[in-house]
Structure 1
Amino acid sequence: MKNLQNTLYIFGITLVATLGGLLFGYDTAVISGAEKSIQAFLIDSLGLSTWAHGATTSSALIGCILGGAISGWFASRMGRKRSLMLAAFLFFISALGSGYPEFLFFKQGEVSMSLLYVFNFYRIIGGIGVGMASAICPMYIGEIAPAHLRGRLVSINQFAIIFGMLVVYFVNWGIADGKSLDWINAIGWRYMFASEAIPAGLFGLLLFLVPETPRYLTLMKKDDEALRVLTRINGAEMASNILKDIKNTMTHHASAKLMSYGKTVIIIGILLSVFQQFVGINVALYYAPRIFESMGVAKDASMMQTVVMGLVNVVFTVIAIMTVDRWGRKPLLMVGSIGMAIGMFAIATLAYFQVIGVSTLVFIIVYTASFMMSWGPICWVLISEIFPNKIRGRAVAVAVAAQWAANYFISSTYPSMMEFSSTMTYGFYGVMSVLSFLFVWKMVPETKGKTLEEMESVWEK
């Protein structure tokens, strides 16, 4: 009975933390339904270029880079829990500001360069929240979770990200369904952005009910509080031993620098992040309706097909959750890389021969399903667990900042790459998938079943 209570407590904490992941997915995917309206309302009416459209569509990613970069500072100074509260506040402000950028300073419907800048400012504010949440949510869950459940629990955060994307696909579709294009371009896109305020407010309130992580409490010399949390999670018998292991790693490297364990662990963290983006997944997520329309699919049907993609993503993320602690991290990543390479090279070939139809959709699904059962969740699992306790906050921040920088590069260059050659664009993502396989095979250690404290000895060797 006691074990059941502990397990329910762990899952309860995890579900609250993963609301940050849901908002991460919601915020990054809301643009998929609104980007053509933003183009009509702001970009085209101001006579701006394709580059300006790509930059505006991806502007939140600038905030994501900043949020990822500063997440380590906030996580180390404010704690994991209060940093997530700050992220929830930023999500809330961004949702309302992006939906009504004219607030206070502009007249609704009057378009100007200043309004474009303000809209991008609110998107960047939300991006900072996403960047912080993307680093700190898996870190929080990783530091709370027992070793035998850690892969599964951190993977739930990826499920929440994908679920957030699926929710916003339905929200965008529901807002646009049956409405005229003029109404969507004038009003509908505002509802899409503003709808995020609801889950953001809920996330902020529920965070008051969860504890700080025992690793951070130990770092702050609050051993009694850390022991109480560990006891609720692991039971009294194991809690004192775990606390002792945590204290040993904290005190042994009390003045640890970022490179205290060598460059390899930092390089692996950065490359995990970069490859997760260079395989091109966020192109499929941000531009999904546009991709389907370019294949000759009607607008209403293209929005529906993004919902189908979202459902596929959820199913294959669940597969990863169920297998990550059984099969390990490396096998899933390598299988996923092979599936992504097959999907992207097939799409590139179909694009070359100008074949548009069900086959293209099938290979897009093969590609996204392969990503969602591997690089989607497992990259976050590894980033949350490969770094030793003493440098985790800063090292995760470096890896996540690199991830968002790679994300921004890939997403903002997609429209101009597609103008040059769609075959080359998808072929590039296929090559990156092959390189990701080689990287995992040669460099990434298996972390299945190891405690966070045991990871320190892996890098000391």
Structure 2
Amino acid sequence: MNKQVKAFFYSVVVALGGFVFGLDAAVISGTVKFITAEFGLNDLQVGTAVSAPGFGVLIALLITPWLCNRFGRKKTLILISALYWVSAVTSALAPTYWSLVAARFLGGLAFTSLTVAAMYIGEVAPPRWRGKLVSINQMNIVFGLSAAYFVNYFLIQAMNNDAGWAVAVNLKENIWRFMLGSEIIPAFIWLGLLFLIPESPRWLVYRGRIEEAKAIMHRITPDDEIDGQVKAMEESLHHGTEELSGLSQFRELFHKRMRLVVVVAVVIAVAQQLSGINAILFYAPTVFEQLGGGTDAAFAQSLWVGLVSVIFTLGAILLVDRLGRRPLILIGLMWVVVSHSLCWWGFNTARYTLSEEAVVELPAEVDAAALKPMLGQEFKSDIAFKSALIDALGETEARVHSAEILKQSADMNATLILIGILSFISAFHFSLGPVMWVLFSELFPTSLRGVAIPFFVLISSVISFLVQKFFPWQLANMGGEAIFMFYGIVALVGFVWLLPILPETKNLSIEEIQLKLERK
């Protein structure tokens, strides 16, 4: 292989962790109804099960900087891939609710794969390729998301159609276990492939192992550029302080010369997650059930989330080094605002009425007599309608049958809301999704990267955890209208903040980017 192909190969191998992450993140969306019924969960318990990895990653991000700086990027990635595999096995076999939460938490310890992958790829990729190669990580995330939605849909169809193999393995009773177990093989493959990549040359320079760094750079860097790049790395390290303690690195990170970098990183980290992406990705069938199409339609519509994610992430990869980081971020934020506005309007104009004819169409296990007090009443919000359902059927029964009851009672512009949701998914994966990782791989000097990237990803992850944890409760108590309005306002505030300060970093080395930012 020539040098560019090797750099590409190493980046792709590392980015396969994005596929495992995407699969892990989205496959849980299909299990919500089934684990709720099996373990008798309320809204906050559902949120805990779904968000357990989000809490796990908060813990992992506190030790990731030390692992990366002490043992290197490669060994840290190998440990992470092993955690993914163990989590997948134990999640699929979990006998109780809390054992499922614990297994999911273990998988969350591996979610730092995104951080370390962006760091590694940013350090081995040539400057002119960095944007595309870092974005491959995001591409693999959406491939994983898509695979999860297809796996869930395939299993639902097999269960509903009583396929021979589905009956043989008792799929109806264990479908959520098969969904979670779909991660086992990809995680094992990634673990094996990671033994084929070299250590990051920047980390070797950071540790003073110059000759080892040069030997690896001979595989991926033109020979006439190696000495110059090593010298630039050493100067960058000298500009900071080699072997800084964690506390010293944080002090350096918040030095006034880093102020612009910190503001940009914080705003992007907050806007990326608080615009609502994980509410959709982690609860896709649940969200689509609110449109009144029923459970099967909700799983089918979830496939569109995966397909749209792939298409627009590919577009971002092709354009991130051509158009630049700044235009994609700013265009994407305004696109998110418009998308959420469509969803807000769709829910704002929705009405819910349960008729006698509709009750007849409900599944036999629904207590039709208990619904009589609701007949003929018009409810002007999903919150009021669900509250009446809970009063009529009880919390557990209302949750189990809400999709089919909404299907018979909702009068809304479901197409408009579906377009708004898919538009939001498109905007996110065209801008905030991949470009945040590109910027995080570029903004920070070598001496601070091991602390800086995990720290700002920690901010993003805290918000992600909170979104995942409380979304079921928000949906039940705030309703779709208020939720989408809030997400749109967040994106608008992010746009206003970044418009005057967001720098352009395309085609610059990490050292050149740092000099540019310090001059501002």
So what's the TM-score if we normalise by structure 1? Answer: 0.92
Q: Does 141-150 or 352-361 show the bigger shift? A: 352-361
Q: Does 265-274 or 281-290 show the bigger shift? A: 265-274
2:335 matched residue in structure 1 = 339
Q: Does 401-410 or 62-71 show the bigger shift? A: 62-71
1:383 matched residue in structure 2 = 440
Kept in 1: contact 2:92–2:181 (CA 8 A): yes
Kept in 2: contact 1:20–1:133 (CA 8 A): yes
1:12 matched residue in structure 2 = 9
Provide the rounded CA distance (Å) in 2 between the counterparts of 1:449 and 1:74: 30
Aligned AA for 1:335?
A: I
Provide the rounded CA distance (Å) in 2 between the counterparts of 1:274 and 1:66: 19
CA RMSD, 1 decimal: 1.7
Name the CA shift for 1:339/1:117 in 2 (closer, same or farther; >3 Å): same
The answer as to 2:219 corresponding to 1:232 is yes
The answer as to 2:230 corresponding to 1:243 is yes
Q: CA deviation at 1:185?
A: 5.9
Q: CA deviation at 1:60?
A: 1.4
1:83 matched residue in structure 2 = 76
Name the CA shift for 1:443/1:70 in 2 (closer, same or farther; >3 Å): farther
Q: What residue ranges of structure 1 are gaps of 5+ in the alignment?
A: 103-114
1:161 matched residue in structure 2 = 141
Provide the rounded CA distance (Å) in 1 between the counterparts of 2:305 and 2:475: 21
Kept in 2: contact 1:231–1:238 (CA 8 A): no
2:33 matched residue in structure 1 = 36
Q: CA deviation at 1:327?
A: 0.8
Task: Give the 5 Å matches for 1:3-402.
Answer: 5-42=2-39, 44=40, 48-102=41-95, 115-130=96-111, 132-180=112-160, 186-254=173-241, 255=244, 257-261=249-253, 262=255, 264=259, 265-354=261-350, 355-402=412-459
Provide the rounded CA distance (Å) in 2 between the counterparts of 1:51 and 1:427: 22
Which consecutive aligned stretches of 4+ in structure 1 deviate over 6 angstroms post-superposition?
Answer: none
The answer as to 2:508 corresponding to 1:450 is yes
2:472 matched residue in structure 1 = 415
Kept in 1: contact 2:337–2:492 (CA 8 A): yes
Alignment coverage as a number of residue pairs:
441
Q: CA deviation at 1:439?
A: 2.3
Provide the rounded CA distance (Å) in 1 between the counterparts of 2:34 and 2:500: 45
What SS does the aligned partner of 1:258 have?
helix
What SS does the aligned partner of 1:259 have?
helix
Q: CA deviation at 1:416?
A: 2.0
Aligned AA for 1:162?
A: V
Provide the rounded CA distance (Å) in 2 between the counterparts of 1:95 and 1:443: 42
Provide the rounded CA distance (Å) in 1 between the counterparts of 2:473 and 2:188: 37
Name the CA shift for 1:82/1:295 in 2 (closer, same or farther; >3 Å): same
The answer as to 2:499 corresponding to 1:441 is yes
Q: What residue ranges of structure 2 are gaps of 5+ in the alignment?
A: 351-411
Q: CA deviation at 1:83?
A: 0.4
Q: Does 380-389 or 48-57 show the bigger shift? A: 48-57
Provide the rounded CA distance (Å) in 2 between the counterparts of 1:380 and 1:232: 25
Aligned AA for 2:494?
A: S
Q: CA deviation at 1:428?
A: 0.2
Percent of paired sites with the same residue: 32
Provide the rounded CA distance (Å) in 2 between the counterparts of 1:51 and 1:32: 15
1:428 matched residue in structure 2 = 486
2:399 matched residue in structure 1 = none
Kept in 1: contact 2:159–2:172 (CA 8 A): no
Q: CA deviation at 1:287?
A: 1.1
Q: CA deviation at 1:364?
A: 1.2
Provide the rounded CA distance (Å) in 2 between the counterparts of 1:307 and 1:69: 35
Kept in 2: contact 1:26–1:196 (CA 8 A): yes
Provide the rounded CA distance (Å) in 2 between the counterparts of 1:249 and 1:185: 58
Kept in 2: contact 1:159–1:318 (CA 8 A): yes
Kept in 1: contact 2:264–2:498 (CA 8 A): no
Larger Rg: 2
Provide the rounded CA distance (Å) in 2 between the counterparts of 1:292 and 1:184: 23
Kept in 1: contact 2:333–2:492 (CA 8 A): yes
Provide the rounded CA distance (Å) in 2 between the counterparts of 1:163 and 1:189: 20
Provide the rounded CA distance (Å) in 2 between the counterparts of 1:309 and 1:346: 17
Q: CA deviation at 1:299?
A: 1.8
Q: Does 317-326 or 5-14 show the bigger shift? A: 5-14
Provide the rounded CA distance (Å) in 1 between the counterparts of 2:470 and 2:103: 22
Aligned AA for 2:289?
A: E
User: 1:169-196: CA deviations, max 9, x gaps?
Assistant: 1112222213149955621111111121
Provide the rounded CA distance (Å) in 1 between the counterparts of 2:32 and 2:120: 32
Aligned AA for 1:437?
A: F
Provide the rounded CA distance (Å) in 2 between the counterparts of 1:66 and 1:445: 31
Q: CA deviation at 1:393?
A: 0.7
Q: Does 225-234 or 265-274 show the bigger shift? A: 265-274
Q: Does 360-369 or 250-259 show the bigger shift? A: 250-259
